[in-house]
Amino acid sequence: MRVAVVGAGFSGLMFAVALARAGANVDLYEEHERVGFPEHCTGLVSLATVRLIGRPAERSRLAAYEGFIISGPRHAVRLRTSEPVIKLDRVRLEQEMLDEAVREGVRYRPGAKVRVTPEGTVLPEGREYDLVVLAEGYTGRLRRSLGIGYTAQPLYGVNAEVEGSSQGDFVALFDNSTSRGLFSWYVPMGSTSLVGTASSEPRLLQPLLREAMKRFGLEGARVSRFYGGPVITGPPAERLRLGKLIAVGDAAGMNKPLTGGGLYPSAKAAVLALSMISDGVDLLSSAERALLAVSRELRRSYHVSKLLHARPDIVDMLAEAAEASGLARAVSGRVDYDVHYTLFTASIRSLRAPLGAAMLTLRSLEGAAKLLGALIRDAMA
Ligand SMILES: Cc1cc2nc3c(=O)[nH]c(=O)nc-3n(C[C@H](O)[C@H](O)[C@H](O)COP(=O)(O)OP(=O)(O)OC[C@H]3O[C@@H](n4cnc5c(N)ncnc54)[C@H](O)[C@@H]3O)c2cc1C
């Protein structure tokens, strides 16, 4: 089987390695000369995701945190995760992944912006493939002309590397009073920190970032550099496949809706596809089925995420209720950073509320509002 992967970002690299391991002949096309650039990502994943990615992630670990802090405008709750949250060096990660891909026999073809046809031809060379994995990221333009993949508007996210550090071994997240449509975040890294925020309106990024720095106790601190890019908050694309093409990663909207995180979904889909191929399923069906499975998981948390982003006061109510009822202690140590909807399922289980099954099959925003309301009332009782 001949496979072309278009885009040597995280998702393209993940799929290139998995498909090469499955015995395919893989060509990896990348328009830039080097992988890992331009840097955009904060690089936070759970330890479970580090295991899914494998050795390149192990070698790119920069720091580990005990958990995260979720806060609304007034209240905050500190949650220990079931395993540490890991900060990866994202530039190194992609370089390590490329080295691994080449070791697995992937042919790397940098420096060319290619086009593809649904029949599996990569242009301008005109090479033909049995499967083309479209991993062009959000900014790529191929899928738009083909009518597949993610089409919704992204948010814009920015990281500021700041001198100084105000907190210890927890990552602070979901402070959505200092962002628009996502949250601001704080990642302590010894003598420096990363402070970031996101907005649907790029012009708001600077004032929001200033507010976020103030909020995290770093007002006026010196910023040594900024980096960022489009943040995808879902839901995943309805149409992932066209003929021999399949869209993955940001190009498919395969991101955690609450945080925009794209590493866990792509790592999981690639590993799942490989295990299906090992079970005898053909390459194209394996890739498609794996993506659909991960996409279902992401959809489950989409409505909850929409609600939480739209209503910062609910985050406050949840945080307050969780502290008051002992819920925060009950779910502490049971939540995986990358499978954050388990925060809700774990909360529900610990409250013994008869909402578990319904919560898992949330379909509408209204439903989410009702269930969260009930959860809060339960927690307060
Ligand atoms: C501010 C910010 C913070 C983030 N923080 C986190 C985080 O903490 N944890 C997490 O899990 N995720 C995070 N993410 C999301 C994560 O970075 C992305 O989901 C992930 O990098 C997407 O990888 P990708 O391979 O799908 O796309 P990309 O990284 O965009 O890669 C696409 C590649 O395709 C190439 N390409 C495009 N078109 C062509 C073409 N026609 N021919 C050849 N090559 C082409 C591009 O040059 C590029 O290299 C963050 C994102 C942002 C913006």
Q: DSSP label at 181?
A: S
Which residue has the CA at smallest separation from atom 52 of ligand 1?
Answer: 41
Q: Is the distance from the beta carbon of residue 263 to the nearest atom of ligand 1 less than 6 Å?
A: yes
Atom of ligand 1 nearest to the CA of 248: 26
Domain assignment present for residue 51? The answer is no
Question: What pLDDT is stored for residue 305 in this prediction?
Answer: 80
Q: Which atom of ligand 1 is nearest to the CA of 159?
A: 1
At 348-361, the pLDDT tens digits run: 555 544 444 444 44
pLDDT at 344: 61
- Dihedral sign from CA coordinates of 305, 307, 311, 313: negative
Residues 339, 206 share a domain: no
Do 186 and 308 lie in one domain? The reply is: no
Distance CA 150, CA 148 (A): 7
Does residue 241 share a domain with residue 218?
A: no
Query: Is 159 a pocket residue for ligand 1 (Cβ < 6 Å)?
Result: yes
Residues 165 and 209 in one domain: yes
Residue 105 lies in a domain: yes
The answer, yes or no, to whether residue 375 has pLDDT greater than 60, is: no
The answer to whether residues 341 and 290 belong to one domain is no
**Average of pLDDT values for 125-149?**
96
Element (H, E) at 328: helix 327-331
Decide if pLDDT at 49 tops 60: yes
Domain assignment of residue 242, yes or no: yes
Q: Quick one: 182 and 326 in the same domain? A: no
Which of 256, 272, 299 marks a domain boundary? Answer: 299
Ligand 1 neighbour 157 (Cβ under 6 A):
yes
pLDDT confidence tier of residue 172, bands split at 50, 70 and 90 = confident
Q: What is the pLDDT of residue 306?
A: 78
Q: Is 64 part of any domain?
A: no
224 contacts 162 by C-beta, under 8 angstroms? yes
Tell whether 372 is covered by a domain: yes
Q: Which of 279, 299, 319 is the last residue of a domain?
A: 299
- DSSP per-residue string spanning 121-155: EEETTTEE-SEEEE--TTT--HHHHHT-S--SPPE
Give yes or no: residues 24 and 93 share one domain: yes
Question: Which is more confidently placed, 301 or 338?
Answer: 338
Count: domains in the chain: 3
Asked if 254 and 295 sit in the same domain, the reply is yes
Ligand 1 touching residue 60 (CB < 6 A): no
Structure confidence at residue 47 (pLDDT): 97
Residue whose Cα lies nearest atom 53 of ligand 1: it is: 229
8 Cβ below 6 A of ligand 1: yes
pLDDT of 272 above 60: yes
Q: What is the mean pLDDT of residues 156-172?
A: 85
| CATH value at residue 251 | 3.50.50.60
Total residue count of the chain as it appears in this document = 381
ipTM: 0.99
Same domain, 315 and 352: yes
Mean pLDDT across the stretch 14-29?
98
In a domain, 56, yes or no: no
Query: What's the CA dihedral at 339, 341, 345, 348 to 10 degrees?
Result: 140
Give the model's confidence band at 170: pLDDT under 50 very low, under 70 low, under 90 confident, else very high: confident
Distance between terminal CA atoms of the chain?
A: 60
In a domain, 73, yes or no: no
Q: Which of 299, 324, 348 is the last residue of a domain?
A: 299
Q: Which residue would you say has higher pLDDT here, 353 or 234?
A: 234
* Nearest residue to 378 via CA among 351, 356, 346: 351
Whether the predicted pLDDT of 316 surpasses 80: no
* Amino acid identity at 240: L
Is any ligand 1 atom within 6 A of the Cβ of residue 249? Answer: yes
DSSP symbol at 203: G
User: 309 and 367: one domain?
Assistant: yes
Ligand 1 centroid, distance to 81 Cα (angstroms): 26
Cα(7) to centroid(ligand 1), Å: 9
Residue span of the structural domain in which 331 resides: 304-380
Whether residue 250 is found in the same domain as residue 227: no
Residue 142 resides in a domain: yes
> Does the pLDDT of residue 367 top 80, yes or no?
no
Ligand 1 touching residue 31 (CB < 6 A): yes
Residue 33 has pLDDT above 90, yes or no: yes
256 with 131, same domain?
Answer: yes
Radius of gyration of the chain (CA): 21
User: What is the pLDDT at residue 381?
Assistant: 46
- Tell me: the pLDDT tens digits for 73-83? 777 888 889 99
Question: What burial letters (b/e) apply to 306-334, b meaning 16+ CB within 10 Å?
Answer: bbbbeebebbbbbbbbbbebebbebbbeb
